[in-house]
Amino acid sequence: MLPTEIPDKGRVLTGLSGFWFARTRELVPNHLLALRADGRSTECRKLEMLPLECVVRGYLAGSGWKDYRATGAVCGHDLPEGLVESAQLPEPIFTPSTKALEGHDENIDRAKAVELVGEERFDEVERISLELYRFASQRASERGILIADTKFELGVDPEGRLVLADEAFTPDSSRFWPADEYEPGRGQPSFDKQYVRDYCETLGWDKTDPGPELPADIVAGTRARYVDAFERVTEIAFDDYLADPEVVLA
């Protein structure tokens, strides 16, 4: 954790999640009951959460790129030879991970995921995750953003139905890349916290607490990227959201 706060980051994440929850409820119900007037807090249904991180990848980046270079596969999905960093995959793939109580989540294959949730539930989770990704990535691409990959939290309600929870298609749960700067074969500029990660890499930080304080220009640049992502995806001015958070639900 870094000690420096990014102004309005929580509002961007809440607003974007609300926007997507309102537009994906025909694919899967979600936990959102209401957005509060502060724009950063919500009222939600209580769920029993699945012990999986539901990850979908449309491009080869992050830990997926590392796994591919080592084995030619990602979470049990064999991929074509010769792919480069940031390459678009032939089809999006579902690559679940564990929810680590300490340290980093662990990428797992279908067999290990089935052990955690059962085969029937896993198949339903995979189908819904891929449908959500395809829906959101198409809309985002029309607005100049490539969603390279994304992570969901799914829970189960008292009737046993799967419900989308936590956040959805935000710069923290997804890699957002500017489409007009996309170039396979290298890392991509992004709208997410990668900007902060890249700065921290220049410091030689060993990733132990406490993290480094962020200078004002990095804070301002990070906030600008989050707000830009919000406005591109929603086509709503961020100031309008601050004035009335429910505008994203319309």
Neighbouring C-alpha atoms within 13 Å toward the C-beta of 204: 0
Structural domains of the chain, ranges and CATH numbers in brackets: 16-249 (3.30.470.20)
Q: Give me the mean pLDDT over the 180-197 stretch.
A: 87
Report residue 211: phi and psi, to 5°.
-75, 170
Give per-residue pLDDT as tens, 24-75: 999 999 999 999 999 999 999 999 999 999 999 999 999 999 999 999 999 9
Q: What is the dihedral of CA 35, 227, 58, 154, to 10 degrees?
A: -20
Assigned token pair, 187:
């890392």
**112 Cβ contact list (under 8 Å, min separation 6):** none
Q: Tokens representing 192?
A: 């997410």
- Report pLDDT digits (tens) over 95-119: 999 987 666 788 999 999 999 999 9
* Strand, coil or helix: 34: strand
> What is the DSSP-derived secondary structure letter of residue 104?
-
Query: Hey, CA dihedral for 140, 15, 197, 102, is it positive or negative?
Result: negative
Based on its alpha-carbon atoms, the radius of gyration of the chain, rounded to whole angstroms, reads 18
pTM: 0.92
The residue ranges of DSSP E strands in 72-173, in sequence order, are 73-74, 77-78, 88-94, 145-156, 162-165
The model's pLDDT over 194-214, given as tens digits with 9 standing for 90+, comes to 778 788 888 888 888 888 899
pLDDT (tens digit per residue) in 121-138: 999 999 999 999 999 999
CA-nearest of 174, 171, 184, 150 to 223 is: 171
Q: For residue 4, which amino acid is it?
A: T
pLDDT for 103:
63
The 3 state secondary structure assigned to 168-219 is: CCCCCCEEEEEHHHCCCCCCCCCCCCHHHHHHHHHHCCCCCCCCCCCCHHHH
pLDDT on residue 184: 98
Q: Report yes or no: 151 and 173 within 8 Å, Cβ to Cβ.
A: yes
d(CA 139, CA 55): 19
